[in-house]
Structure 1
């Protein structure tokens, strides 16, 4: 499996460099939380606002990678699965890179300091649904990366059915959320819609793995 931490490091360093260029144009206090109308409500020192996300871009994938490399089952998987796992590990870095440079920095340096909810929602649709869903199609059974429920972890049949189905669900909801993020004005309706389209598929696939499980499929151990 290729090392996804390298990509995370490159993205983190790039974000730090871009943030450094914005240092002089940034006030001493910048927002890190906004209300439903995208107006700032919580302020932090600019070094926190500009460099928190770049640090997380590296730290989160690094922690996930350290967990994954300790799973001997992943080393036995095919090339497509290993590539998909690497893509999923680097996914937080890709998502946070977009949020950092197109939402957080833009808000910190703008006159109004308003949030950019449509760009944020589009980033969720692109990375946390479409890209994640695409890669889940290829992840082979393992106890570390994927849709980890009691039923997928106890049956290879349930694992495969759940991941095949989940890929389509995430991609379809991602496309819907992407369209939604471009068509609906910011506000409470926008916030509720984003939460439903984002978190709804995660909740759905959890219960889906339960409903397709059976005593017969449970006799096929995941790590047999």
Structure 2
């Protein structure tokens, strides 16, 4: 499996450099939370607002990678599965890089300091749904990365059925959310729609794996 931590480090360093260039034009206090109309309501010191996300871009994939490499089952995976696992580990870095440089940094340096909810929602659609769903198709059974439920973790057939189905669900919801993020104005309807389209697939696949566990799917155990 290729090491995704290297990509996370490059993205984090790039974000730190871009934030450093904006340091002098950024006020001492910058927003880190906004209301439903995208107006700032919670302010933090400049160093925290500019560098929190770059640190997380590296830290989250690094922690996930350290957990994943301890899973001996991954060594038996094919090349496509190993690449997909690496892509999923690197997802937080890609998502946070996009959010940091096109949402957080822009808000910190703008006059109004307003949030950019449409860009944020589009980044969710692109990385946390479409790209995630695509890679889930290729992840072979393991106990570290994928749709981890009591039923997928106990049966390789349920794992495969769930991930084959889940890939389509995430990609379709991601496309819908991407269109939604470009077409609907910010406000309560926008917020509710984003939450449903973002979190809905995660909730759905949990129950999907439960329901197919009661079907005749065989009893092939995981390799772990």
TM-score of the pair, normalised by structure 2:
0.98
Unmatched tracts of structure 1, length 5 or more: none
After superposing on structure 2, the runs of 4+ consecutive aligned residues of structure 1 that deviate more than 4 Å are none
Q: Could you say which residue in structure 2 is the equivalent of 1:70?
A: 70
Q: Could you say which residue in structure 2 is the equivalent of 1:194?
A: 194
Question: Is the 1:151–1:218 contact (alpha carbons within 8 Å) kept by the matching residues of 2?
Answer: no
Describe the superposition over 1:188-222 as per-residue Cα deviations: whole angstroms up to 9, x where unpaired: 11000000000000000000001111375463211
Question: Is the 2:157–2:219 contact (alpha carbons within 8 Å) kept by the matching residues of 1?
Answer: no
Distance, in Å, in 1 between the alignment partners of 2:2 and 2:150 is 29
Q: Could you say which residue in structure 2 is the equivalent of 1:136?
A: 136
Distance, in Å, in 1 between the alignment partners of 2:196 and 2:75 is 36
Distance, in Å, in 1 between the alignment partners of 2:163 and 2:218 is 16
What are the equivalent positions in structure 2 for 1:13-24 lying under 5 Å apart? 13-24=13-24
Match status 1:56 vs 2:56: yes
Distance, in Å, in 2 between the alignment partners of 1:181 and 1:28 is 31
Match status 1:119 vs 2:131: no
Describe the superposition over 1:8-50 as per-residue Cα deviations: whole angstroms up to 9, x where unpaired: 0000000000000000010000000000000000000010000
Distance, in Å, in 1 between the alignment partners of 2:119 and 2:215 is 45
Unmatched tracts of structure 2, length 5 or more: none
What are the equivalent positions in structure 2 for 1:105-184 lying under 5 Å apart? 105-184=105-184
TM-score of the pair, normalised by structure 1:
0.98
Note closer, same or farther for the CA distance 1:208–1:55 as it changes in structure 2 (3 Å cut). same
Distance, in Å, in 2 between the alignment partners of 1:39 and 1:80 is 43
